[in-house]
Structure 1
Amino acid sequence: MTTAQLPPVAPEVTATLVEDLSPRLRKRLDAAVTKLGSRPAHRDGDTVTIAVDEETDLRLHAPGGVVTTADAITCGCLLAPACVHRAAAACAAPTADPAPEPAGQPDPPVAGSASQTDDTVSAPDVASPAQRAAADAVWSAAAAVLEAGVDGAGAVAQAALLRTAHTARLQHLPRVAGAALSVVTLLRAARAGDPSYRTAGLVTALAELLGTARRVETASGAELAAVRGRSRRPYSPDGSLRLYGLFSEPVVSDSGHGGVRTWVAGPDGRLLTVGDVAPGGVGRALGVADRAVRLGESALTHRELGRAGLAVSGATVSPDGRLGAGKGVRAVTAGGAAWTEPPLAALWEVPPSQQAARALRSTSRYADPDTGGSDLLFLDVELRGPVREPGGACLLALCDGGIAVRLTVADDDPALAHRDNLMLLATAPGTRLRIIGRLVPALHPRLALLACSHPTGEGTIDLGFDRLRRADLPVPDAHVQPFPPEPGDSGAHSPLHLLERRVEQTVPAGRAALGMLGDVSGEARRLRRAGLPTAAGLLTALCASAARRERDHFGRLLPADADGFASHWLSAARYTSAVSESLCAAAWEPT
């Protein structure tokens, strides 16, 4: 059985089933989850049946595709319903996304607000006591996960975090709830040995969760609205739009969703997207690219729209640039524009450093949602050849200002064309291309390559869907050096990694990993000599907090201060992120 065979389970269902277990069965829960994962399962309509053993079946009933009640998971063993199998099945299944609030429901009032009239001015909006209590519970659960690390954050710790996520959603804190669900999903991927899991992703998710939960207590007004987030994406009217297609990219998420996102631009250069993403994985992503766009009366497919245009009336747009497909939207096919023609050509005229700064603002790890902006860069480059890296090879290219840019694969899935296309382009040094890529924050200029002009100069290539052939490439220029020096690599030798690795080291192994380090004064001195005294102070405080254990009057160890350690870790994580983004922006400056 694989996780994908099980229907998603609502967070509150998993939390309830784990909380109902006896202390003895909770100790056996992680082993039960692993054992259940090796058992055969089959689906019959809305019901998935797992053969626990030769005589016992476990059933998950998911009307509408989601298990929404604890009674929907039944077991035929003698201990049911108090057995460990029901909770193990819920923990093994994917976590369902929370149901959105009914459309048209206004945002709830917050404590401290007053009605706005001509004669009164509303008081600053602040979180209600119930919201602050929910955020505190999320903080405590996340701090416990950080304390234990991935190795110790089993099903019980995950269930506690799911319970607090459900409570946060009931208190109209969808951003906090969503961040908690992301942490649980990554924890499960890490413990299952998922090859797509990256420690850096869990570091970011935990810091986002802790930081957002902490800000609920102090935020007010517009900041509180951003911290609360939205349970559904708002769309606002945008009148009539004339849009020009840029390219289409496959979308494949860790949750099993797949689809396509097509990027379009307006006459003023504003970037918008038309998407179609649903459960289905990479197979759906490849199939839906040739389906009609869900927008008005247009008969264009996504791949056709990436090279054509649309005239839209009654358009609605979300804050992050997604086009709505409501009943009042009308759209008809219109002529497109080449990348070298107005208005699209203006996208490549912006200096790379300005484009990188804009992309960093929109992709900051801890930026508030609905900030708008795009993480795409539009560059004219000359390919120089492959460059070996610890994680594999990438393609080096030179763009304006002598900036050496590393071009990487946007998605490693072998069913997509990204990797094959990049490897083929690496065999043609000297080729000049107009490219579109997604900024990858790093200490050197780095992009995930998404689309490029055709090497022959005719048309464009969606690198996730279209496949280049060797006959499409020009003869390599023998005079081009495939491995030129890399100018402008500012920050590449920064000792910031001394703090970053301690932040990341905590996530897999927990607080104890830092508590056993001993003296870190040598690393702190290196940071100070490099002009990073704040980093040195954060490193010293983090390791001291990890090692600190108080004793009572009888000499017995008291419980560790998980909250204090989480605060020090969060400060270090946010600092390293901010400095890394600054170094990334500096690397894009022309030499």
Structure 2
Amino acid sequence: MNAAQLPPVAPEVTATLVEGLSPRLRKRLDAAVTKLAARPTHRDGDTTTIEVDDETELRLHAPGGVVAKVEDITCGCLLAPACVHRAAAACAAPAADLAPEPAEQATPEAPGPASATAPAAFGPDAAHALGLNVAPASGPDAATGVAPNAAPGRAPNIAPDAATPHETASPDQRAAADALWSAGAAVLEAGVDGAGAVTQSALLRAAHTARLRHLPRVAGAALSVVTLLRAARAGDPSYRTAELVTALAELLGTARRVGTASGAELAAVRGRVRRPYSPDGSLRLYGLFTEPVVTDSGHGGVRTWVAGADGRLFTVGDVAPGGVGRALGVADRAVRLGDSALTHRELGRAGLAVSGATVSPDGRLGAGKTVKAVTARGAAWTEPPLAALWETPPAEQAARALRSTSRYVDPDGTGSDLLFLDVELLGAVREPGGACLLAQCEGGVQVRLTVADDDPALAHRDNLALLAAAPGTRLRIIGRLIPATHPRLTLLACTHPTGEGTVDLGLDRLRRADLPDPSAPAHYAPPQPAGPGGPSPLYLLERRVEQTVPAGRAALGLLGDVTAETRRIRRGGLPTAAALLTALCASAAQRDRDLFGRLLPADTDGFAAYWLAAARYTAAVSESLCAAAWNAAEGDPVAMPPVPVHDAAG
């Protein structure tokens, strides 16, 4: 059994079942989850059955696809309903998404406080790192506000609700945010290894309360953290520590801002449960490509990208519970938009004429009853209006994508993280995590192309391996920006190597006969530098931030003296990073004693505040270095817009 075989369970159901266990059974809960995962499972309609043993069955009833009530999980053992099996099943299943689409969207697309005192010994740079309300510093060492967007497994990008200019959070909202801060700080204290089912249930309970208090953004971040924790503890190969770092920073930073934000900032911090759709008249759309979507919560489907006559990008999605199998099947289903009979694959290469269109702020097309759509002629990537997408210089496209996907600017739902490039393939490049494809685009910028999803059922990995065997091939590509100290994209679509048509690299499979030289082996390009100025010493702080997540606060407390690392960071021109590293490690090691010499409880809130400052600071500097890397061949670094810095004093 794996989590994808079980129906999603509402967070409050999981929290209630765990809270109802006796202290003795709570200690056995993690072992019960592991044991239950090895048992056979089968589904019959809305009911999923797990064979606990030869004589006992556990049933999860999910009308509508979600287990919404405690009574929907039943067990046949002698200790039921007070047994550990029901809580273990809820903890093993995916957490249900709490942000449904409005009725106008025909198919839902699923996914992403404290009382601690801010450190005052670092000067103004550290105030920026902690989000204090001061004027932002300039240059790559300036720190910025909290990350709003979570990674794969993250909460949906949600638009803010309206707020009056002087409105502030209610006492109930501040209390809910405080509870989420405490739950997130507990995760940092314990690390992945110690954040078992009981810790996760505390997060789920706090997320449910925050949702009831109209704080969907921070509640969604909490669900993302739980999903990633479960993936990490289960040894999911798709799990990445950096994604959990981003999700935790979003959770802690947003929870802290609830108590201090007002007006428009409060609206952004609250978020919005439902994505609004507004009328957009008549649209002439041209298909670009279709990508498979597989989420950590067990959802699967596709997203088709289209462009308007004015160059605006739109998406038509179909994502629901089902995983990678559903993603492959939905690609050949008809698009649910008006009267069109096109499948998603066909729409990626054809066109639509839409009247009465409705569009969300992030470009999703609504499929309400008033929307009319008929099939129309498409356009090749080399024909107008699509050809204009490739005419913008790569550095400008990267700057736009960074503004759209920044981890520390409140999301407004606008912009796109896609880049449109003309490249020449240079071959594969070996990296610690595997191999990627190196290509050179106009202006001399060399970009690394990686797979969007490692799942072997999808075509990404095999297609990239074949393209590595065709150095010198010139292609027109579409990729998604990955913020890094060197130009990096996930490769989503490209023109066919033969020059005929296009390839959706997650769905269409290239053959060796499609290459210019079918017998050529994979070509490895010579090693490339990490960035325009070589590796940045910022990684010394980044690795300590990431090290906290799997091992907890105690891992940093055992490091001892970090003077050598801070000295190297200062020589690299990042004094704030050096100060944050010193303070972070000192906070991790600090344990006071009472008058009798007994250890007092650790200051989890204080450590979480330092960790959040370091995580936000490294994200801000990394994005500045990313912009500079894309612009390295054109001279001056890309000018980034002013970044709002928020009061995080709590």
Tell me, yes or no, whether TM beats 0.5.
yes
Partner of 1:368: 410
Distance 2:485 2:273 in 1: 35
Partner of 2:28: 28
Matched, 1:51 2:93: no
Partner of 1:5: 5
The 1:131/1:485 distance shift into structure 2, 3 A limit, reads: same
> How far does residue 44 in structure 1 lie from its aligned partner after superposition?
3.1
Partner AA of 1:449 in structure 2? L
| Map 1:184-203 → 2, pairs under 5 A | 184-203=226-245
Matched, 1:42 2:37: no
> How far does residue 414 in structure 1 lie from its aligned partner after superposition?
1.5
Distance 1:483 1:570 in 2: 38
The 1:445/1:129 distance shift into structure 2, 3 A limit, reads: same
Indicate if the aligned counterparts of 1:444 and 1:491 stay in contact, CA closer than 8 A.
no
> How far does residue 504 in structure 1 lie from its aligned partner after superposition?
0.4
Match among 320, 345, 349 for residue 303 of structure 1: 345
> How far does residue 404 in structure 1 lie from its aligned partner after superposition?
0.8
Deviations 1:543-581 (A, max 9, x none): 000001111111111100000000000000000011111
Match among 229, 248, 268 for residue 206 of structure 1: 248
Indicate if the aligned counterparts of 1:235 and 1:324 stay in contact, CA closer than 8 A.
yes
Match among 544, 555, 562 for residue 520 of structure 1: 562
Partner AA of 2:75 in structure 1? C
Distance 2:288 2:39 in 1: 47
Match among 130, 134, 145 for residue 176 of structure 2: 134
> How far does residue 528 in structure 1 lie from its aligned partner after superposition?
0.4
Distance 1:173 1:578 in 2: 25
Indicate if the aligned counterparts of 1:244 and 1:265 stay in contact, CA closer than 8 A.
yes
| Map 1:461-500 → 2, pairs under 5 A | 461-475=503-517, 483=525, 486=528, 489-500=531-542
SS at match of 1:489: coil
Distance 1:29 1:456 in 2: 56
> How far does residue 428 in structure 1 lie from its aligned partner after superposition?
1.4
Higher Cα radius of gyration: 1
Indicate if the aligned counterparts of 1:289 and 1:301 stay in contact, CA closer than 8 A.
yes
Indicate if the aligned counterparts of 1:434 and 1:452 stay in contact, CA closer than 8 A.
yes
Distance 1:454 1:230 in 2: 41
> How far does residue 253 in structure 1 lie from its aligned partner after superposition?
1.4
| Map 1:278-427 → 2, pairs under 5 A | 278-427=320-469
Partner of 1:96: 96
The 1:102/1:131 distance shift into structure 2, 3 A limit, reads: farther
Distance 2:569 2:353 in 1: 55
Partner AA of 1:223 in structure 2? E
Count of aligned positions: 574
Indicate if the aligned counterparts of 2:357 and 2:371 stay in contact, CA closer than 8 A.
yes
Higher deviation after alignment, 349-358 or 262-271: 262-271
SS at match of 1:218: coil
Partner of 2:303: 261
The 1:314/1:180 distance shift into structure 2, 3 A limit, reads: same
RMSD: 2.1
SS at match of 2:31: helix
Partner of 1:562: 604
Partner AA of 1:278 in structure 2? A
Indicate if the aligned counterparts of 2:3 and 2:298 stay in contact, CA closer than 8 A.
no
Partner AA of 1:408 in structure 2? T
> How far does residue 77 in structure 1 lie from its aligned partner after superposition?
2.7
SS at match of 1:251: strand
Q: Which has the higher contact order (CA 8 A, sep 6+)?
A: 2
Higher deviation after alignment, 536-545 or 77-86: 77-86
| Map 1:441-590 → 2, pairs under 5 A | 441-475=483-517, 483=525, 486=528, 489-590=531-632
Deviations 1:189-213 (A, max 9, x none): 1111111111111111111100110
SS at match of 1:135: helix
Higher deviation after alignment, 160-169 or 454-463: 454-463
Partner of 1:87: 87
Partner of 2:137: none
> How far does residue 488 in structure 1 lie from its aligned partner after superposition?
8.6
> How far does residue 294 in structure 1 lie from its aligned partner after superposition?
0.9
> How far does residue 407 in structure 1 lie from its aligned partner after superposition?
1.1
> How far does residue 590 in structure 1 lie from its aligned partner after superposition?
4.1
SS at match of 1:393: strand
> How far does residue 61 in structure 1 lie from its aligned partner after superposition?
2.1
Distance 1:532 1:173 in 2: 36
Indicate if the aligned counterparts of 2:102 and 2:275 stay in contact, CA closer than 8 A.
no
Partner AA of 2:94 in structure 1? P
TM-score by length of 1: 0.93
Distance 1:429 1:555 in 2: 68
Partner of 2:646: none
SS at match of 2:584: helix
Deviations 1:222-271 (A, max 9, x none): 11111111111111111111111111111111222111111111122111
Indicate if the aligned counterparts of 1:403 and 1:487 stay in contact, CA closer than 8 A.
no
Deviations 1:441-469 (A, max 9, x none): 11111111111112222221111122222
> How far does residue 482 in structure 1 lie from its aligned partner after superposition?
5.9
Match among 153, 174, 198 for residue 156 of structure 1: 198
| Map 1:209-228 → 2, pairs under 5 A | 209-228=251-270
Distance 1:212 1:452 in 2: 38
Name stretches of at least 5 consecutive residues in structure 1 with no aligned partner. Answer: 105-120
The 1:37/1:225 distance shift into structure 2, 3 A limit, reads: same
Partner AA of 2:496 in structure 1? H
TM-score by length of 2: 0.85
Partner AA of 2:254 in structure 1? T
Indicate if the aligned counterparts of 1:183 and 1:205 stay in contact, CA closer than 8 A.
yes
Distance 1:235 1:274 in 2: 13
Higher deviation after alignment, 45-54 or 244-253: 45-54
